[in-house]
């Protein structure tokens, strides 16, 4: 301890004390700046946290909307497939019916009228009604 006091009291003592004071002042100043920066960044982080929470809320809303949309699309697809099957069945029935009508038309076209055209027409009409 006595050595330190002798150095401080000697000719380099003022210089050493000035240097120590300058270092301590610099340290306190940097702590004050770091503290101000810390407060500034804490405020920025608080604002960003609010934005992040809003973003998460928006994502949840969008997820719900997307889920509803996907459900609606799946329902529309199922309905379209159902209508397509019904249309295919109706087309098949129409073709079968058309085939029968074509055969009837061919039979009518193949009938040759006899000498009495009225009697032939009556027979053709009566024959078509009985089928």
Q: What is the pLDDT of residues 92-114, one digit of tens each?
A: 999 999 988 888 888 777 777 77
Within a domain: 70? no
Within a domain: 84? no
When divided into structural domains, the chain yields a total of: 1
3-class secondary-structure state, position 131: coil
Within a domain: 27? no
Smallest Cα–Cα separation from 113: which of 101, 126, 104, 122?
Answer: 122
Within a domain: 125? yes
Over residues 48-74, the mean pLDDT reads 93
Q: What are phi and psi of 93, to 5 degrees?
A: -60, -40
Q: Inform me whether the pLDDT recorded for 71 exceeds 70.
A: yes
Q: Inform me whether the pLDDT recorded for 2 exceeds 70.
A: no
Confidence of residue 53 (pLDDT cuts 50, 70, 90): very high
pLDDT of residue 33: 62
For 112, the domain range is 101-131
Within a domain: 116? yes
Within a domain: 120? yes
Burial class (CB in 10 A: 0-12, 13-18, 19+), 124: middle
Cβ–Cβ < 8 Å for 8, 17: yes
Within a domain: 7? no
Q: Inform me whether the pLDDT recorded for 13 exceeds 60.
A: no
pLDDT of residue 119: 79
3-class secondary-structure state, position 114: coil
- Tokens of residue 77, six digits: 């697809």
pLDDT of residue 87: 96
């Amino acid at each position: 301890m006595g050595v330190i006091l002798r150095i401080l009291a000697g000719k380099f003592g003022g210089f050493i004390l000035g240097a120590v004071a300058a270092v301590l002042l610099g340290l306190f100043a940097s702590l004050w700046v770091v503290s101000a920066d810390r407060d500034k960044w804490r405020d920025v982080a608080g604002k960003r946290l609010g934005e992040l929470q809003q973003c998460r809320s928006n994502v949840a809303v969008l997820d719900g909307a997307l889920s509803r949309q996907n459900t609606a699309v799946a329902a529309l697809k199922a309905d379209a497939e159902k209508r397509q099957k019904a249309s295919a069945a109706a087309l098949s029935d129409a073709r079968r019916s058309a085939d029968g009508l074509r055969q009837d038309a061919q039979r009518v076209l193949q009938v040759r009228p006899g000498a009495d055209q009225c009697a032939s027409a009556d027979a053709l009409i009566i024959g078509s009604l009985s089928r």
